[in-house]
Amino acid sequence: MTPAPIAVALDAPDLETAAHWAALVTPHVSTVKVGLELYLRYGPDVIASVRGASGVSVFLDLKLHDIPNTVAGAAKAVARLRPAILTVHAAGGAAMIRAAVEAAPHTRIAAVTVLTSLSEADLGGIGLSGPAPDAVRRLAVLAVGAGAGALVCSPQEVAAVRQEVGDDIVLITPGVRPLGADSQDQARVATPEQALADGADLLVIGRPITAAADPGAAAATIAAQLRRKIATP
């Protein structure tokens, strides 16, 4: 059975829990995501721990954002861990994104456009010209032009971004919540089925799976629903 295009966000309190969650969900999903907190707490060891014997793809979500030389050094340092995906902030600019791409040639660099936690009011507060879909499209075009092979955007912008960048760029959508789930700290959300229909390639899902009584069963249920969606003409 082909794993579903889901990256489970392993936002765990400790390494053992993250590895346990990864083992439970790996039969059902294509990818596990390691975020900044877990990586800073445990360092490179976390990658091997969550990858396990399965060889599941690891999405290293560090959202690098610094001057090009510093980001290049950081990307080169983590590239040896063989993450399938590494994130940088598109707002760091074209030179920074290009530096990451060149420093980690065997890792797909994913540029984060506008965080899914930000509302329209938040964008104005940080001086980013909105509305959100326009800001996302501008950053997406900039990042792809600089060599990014993937983009991170909310499911509400994914259809417009797909139209803007074409079919060759991998679109990753956080802020995905199954119908009826709490949106929590995400401001721009959609269901997994809707995000996939709109053109997303990889859906980031965290707490709806990891906070379930049985994360493996929750992952299996969402994965089965997505496979049915993919199979339906």
Which residues contribute to the annotated binding site for substrate?
A: 11, 33, 61-70, 116, 177, 186, 206-207
Instruction: Write down the pLDDT at residue 187.
Output: 47
Instruction: Write down the pLDDT at residue 156.
Output: 85
Catalytic option among 14, 66, 182, 185: 66
Instruction: Write down the pLDDT at residue 121.
Output: 84
- The distance of Cα 18 from the centroid of its chain, to the nearest Å, equals 17
Cβ atoms of 209 and 219 within 8 Å: the answer is yes
Instruction: Write down the pLDDT at residue 204.
Output: 93
Q: How far apart are CA 122 and CA 169, in angstroms?
A: 27
Nearest to 206 by CA among 224, 189, 227: 189
Q: What is the DSSP string of 147-209?
A: T-SEEE--TTTHHHHHHHH-SSSEEEE--B--TT---TT-SS-B-HHHHHHTT-SEEEE-HHH
Q: How many CB atoms lie within 10 A of CB 3?
A: 18
Instruction: Write down the pLDDT at residue 175.
Output: 72
**pLDDT tens across 93-135, in order?**
999 999 999 999 999 999 999 887 887 888 888 888 778 888 8
Residue ranges of the chain whose pLDDT lies below 50: 180-181, 183, 185-188
Catalytic annotation on 63? yes
Instruction: Write down the pLDDT at residue 79.
Output: 97
Q: Which two tokens stand for residue 110?
A: 């994913």
Instruction: Write down the pLDDT at residue 183.
Output: 46
Instruction: Write down the pLDDT at residue 177.
Output: 61
Q: Is 76 helix (H, G, I), strand (E, B) or coil?
A: helix
Class of domain 4-231: alpha beta
Instruction: Write down the pLDDT at residue 232.
Output: 62
Cβ atoms of 144 and 180 within 8 Å: the answer is no
Catalytic option among 63, 122, 134, 201: 63
What ranges do the domains of the chain cover?
A: 4-231
Tokens 């940088």 appear where? 88
| pTM (2 d.p.) | 0.90
**pLDDT tens across 182-206, in order?**
545 444 457 888 888 889 999 999 9
